[in-house]
Chain A
Amino acid sequence: MKRLFLLLIALCAGLSAMAQEQELSWRDKIVHPKFDVRLSIGGPNGLYFYPNAEFGNSDWRDGYWKSSYKLADIYEPYYKIDSTPTFTAEFNWHPAKFLYVGADLSWNRAWGRRYDPVTDTKIGDKKISSAYLMGKAAFYWVQLPHFKFYSSLYAGAEIRQSKIDDDTSLGLKPAFDVNMTGVEWAGDVVFGFAEMLLGTRMNMIKLGVGLRF
């Protein structure tokens, strides 16, 4: 009986040691870089556009506009809008395994052709170019050898150039983005990443590639 008891203890100790070894081995595979740089493209301009602050009656709400029961909706000029994606370059520093902070620079552009709804003819243009300088902090909440999941918060400023027909103006606005779920995947050095963003700079998904070192 005593022998059997000692044998079981030895077996447990052995298994436990093996498990720890295995655990250490997959944890060791997770890369914790000191820095990374990233390039990405994302959705078009964010929240500033959605409440119609810039383009008033817009064709994105065509269905609503055409069946409206309000004179201002029917008769105010409306815009047909196009925009570029948002291009971003980022530099990040990882002071801890679960955290990184950084700064990024973005650019995007939107332009609208203004139409008279009565004659349905083009009566003007409006173009908006924006550059964003933002700081950020990100927190990894799951880290696996080839996948990392994280959330991040961006805050900074937007420099906006608006051109309405022949009038050009410059403005400075606060800017923010919230990324609830981001994911990094693949290699130790080169990796891909995606973020779901909501904010004044971008809406929808941002996709990019990064380099760890």
Chain B
Amino acid sequence: MKKFLLIALASIAASSCSRDDMNDVWKGSDSKGGEPGEAYMRQISEYLIVDNLLELEQAIYLDSLGQASDNRYAKTGASIRTVGSKWVLRNDQRGLTGMEITMTADSTWQMKRNNRYLFPDDRTASYKTDYTITAKQQHDTLGRSRGHCAWNVTLTATRTEDQSYKAEFNTQPDLLFSGGRQGWWARCKGVLQMDVTKNGNYVDRCTIEYNGGQRDYIYLRGL
């Protein structure tokens, strides 16, 4: 009976730990929202960037299997693993329809989109977001295991909102996503910066510095 109780307690402890681990990973728009002020920036780092990376990996993976259909992608170039090829996402459940994926150099892809982007945590926050993400593959783990590639990510983005507000984003230094398993990354390191203007005048500068887990960050505003 004692053994049984010990096993049961150990199982509960183990499951709660693994649940906590799963809450602190990078898994795109399946994640939860953030705290006041920070929450806005986290829509970019946790959703926009991660969802684009997931789309990129999916395109590469489907291409490697020969299953990237013309219904899903408008293709210029037969393979997305050929430098110069450009694929445009035709239909996407993550709200990235129209996103262009271009292979710009060896192990490097660029994702561009200039259209309305809906923040997943607020179904009314849909504004024009013009972004370019450059992702450089660090380790080619795709196809070999169920893990993700590690990606070095550079972002430049401009989001234009009501009352002449504009947010400009960039990464300084680049964000490095690594580790994890299918559907999520385990770590992110780097800094995302946001400059907010109204009618072209400075309003705020914020940074969010990631040190690994999704909640392991330092957020600063009024810089």
User: Which residues of A line the B interface, CB within 8 A?
Assistant: 66-72, 74-76, 118-119
Contacts and interface: CB of A to CB of B under 8 A. Distances in A.
A71 B122 contact: no
The SS class assigned to the A binding surface is loop
B21 interface: no
Contact of A71 (B35, B121, B167): B167
B140 interface: no
B203 A75 contact: yes
Contacts, number: 47
B222 A70 contact: no
A74 B196 CA distance: 11
Contacts of A66: 36-37
Given A118-B203, A118-B221, A72 B161 contact: yes
Contact of A67 (B33, B159, B163): B33
B162 interface: yes
Nearest to B123: A69
B40 A72 contact: no
Q: How large is the interface on B (under 10, 10 to 19, 20 to 34, 35 or more residues)?
A: 20 to 34
Contact of B165 (A69, A75, A118): A75
Contacts of A72: 161-163, 165
14 contacts: A66-B37, A67-B33, A67-B35, A67-B36, A68-B122, A69-B39, A69-B125, A70-B125, A70-B161, A71-B165, A71-B166, A71-B196, A75-B196, A75-B203
B215 to A, nearest CB: 16
A66 B40 CA distance: 10
Interface string B171-198: 0000000000000000000000000101
Contacts of A119: 222
Interface in B10-65: 33, 35-37, 39-40, 43
A70 B203 contact: no
A52 B100 CA distance: 41
Closest 8 CB pairs of A and B: A66-B36, A71-B165, A69-B122, A69-B125, A72-B163, A69-B119, A71-B161, A72-B162
A118 B122 contact: no
B216 interface: no
Contacts of B159: 71
B221 A71 contact: no
B196 A69 contact: no
Nearest to A70: B125
Contact of B43 (A69, A74, A75, A118): A69
B162 A70 contact: yes
A70 B40 CA distance: 8
Interface string B91-134: 00000000000000000000000000001011011000000000
Specify which of A68, A69, A70 lies most central, judged by the most chain B CB atoms within 10 Å of its CB. Answer: A69
Given A68-B122, A75-B165, A119-B222, 14 more contacts: A67-B35, A67-B39, A68-B39, A68-B40, A69-B39, A69-B119, A69-B121, A69-B122, A71-B163, A72-B161, A72-B162, A72-B163, A72-B165, A118-B203
B70 interface: no
Contacts of A118: 203-204, 221-222
A76 B163 contact: yes
Contacts of B37: 66, 74
